[in-house]
Amino acid sequence: MHHFSILLPHEKAVWEFLKDNNVVEVYPYFKEKFDQQDEEILELTKKLEELFRKERLDKSSKISNPTQEELEEMKREYFHHFFLTHDISIRLDTLHLRKLNEFSEYYPLLRTIDTLRSNERKTQIIQFILNDIPTPSSDTSWDHIIEFRTDEDVKNKYLALINWINRTSNSNSKISEIKEEYDYLYSEYIKQFNLHKMKYNNSKLEVIVNATVNFVTNVATGNYISSIKDLFQFNIKNASLLQEESKLTGKEIAYIFHAKETFK
């Protein structure tokens, strides 16, 4: 948290706001993450040391007065190196967090294809799922994102997606077959949801018109019981349509569709 002291006041306020709304969590820099003798940790630490060694060599052989093409190549090399070191460091943090908390699972958001490879089935599934979840545009407000995250229906769709990931990761299917199943479910859900949405909108319009006409007539004649009955029937109809939506093919991955619809 001491790093906040170097941030501008508005940046600090944003981070505090995100923390308070459980969008981000703060954890310390793990010095001990390099000290363990786990095979994967040793491999990642070795790669990180090689990258730092390469960086020192590149600095010592720096080209003086580079051409425009050489300058562009140097920029590409620099950012590629930066993203690689970032990814490896994040992977080490992820492994350490997994060891600290056995009741939660952590997966890194990586920036380069060089660090995406993994033999773990669940990691592979989550990686292509993450790649399909949209990134909100820079002009999307945090309030809008938080509203989406806290919506109860969205939460249920998220849990359904997690359940599908857990189930498929324990199956004997190949990753390519799981990806094909995912594509099929997504395609079916879009098709059925659009049909359902048309039915829902038409039914909603019909019920609203009927309820409004009846409501005004009944209130005018003093028949308040019938007015309440009309509104109650509308709620029943609305609940019925929501129940139908829960039966759509592809509901397991509905979260991603609705995230795309929200942040497109």
Q: Which of 212, 205, 203 is nearest to 231 (CA)?
A: 212
56 or 186: which leads in pLDDT: 186
Q: Is residue 241 predicted with pLDDT exceeding 60?
A: no
Return the amino acid letter for 198: M
Q: Rounded to whole angstroms, what are the CA distances from 260 to 65, 135, 151, 172?
A: 47, 9, 15, 30
Q: Is 51 exposed, middle or buried (0-12, 13-18, 19+ CB in 10 A)?
A: middle
Structure tokens at 10: 């508005």
- State pLDDT tens for residues 69-79: 877 887 888 78
pLDDT tens for 171-218 read 888 888 999 999 999 888 888 777 666 554 544 444 444 445 454 455
Q: Is the pLDDT of residue 46 over 80?
A: yes
Per the model's pLDDT, the better-predicted residue between 33 and 258 turns out to be 258
- C-alpha closest to that of 190 among 125, 262, 248: 248
Tens digits of residue pLDDT in 15-26 = 889 989 988 887
pLDDT of residue 215: 45
At residue 232 the predicted structure's pLDDT band, cuts being 50, 70 and 90, is very low
**By mean pLDDT, which of 95-99, 108-112, 202-206, 235-239 is the weakest?**
202-206
Lowest mean pLDDT among 49-58, 91-100, 209-218: 209-218
Q: 49 falls in which pLDDT band (50, 70, 90)?
A: confident
Question: What pLDDT score was predicted for residue 80?
Answer: 79
CA 101, 105, 111, 112 torsion-angle sign: positive
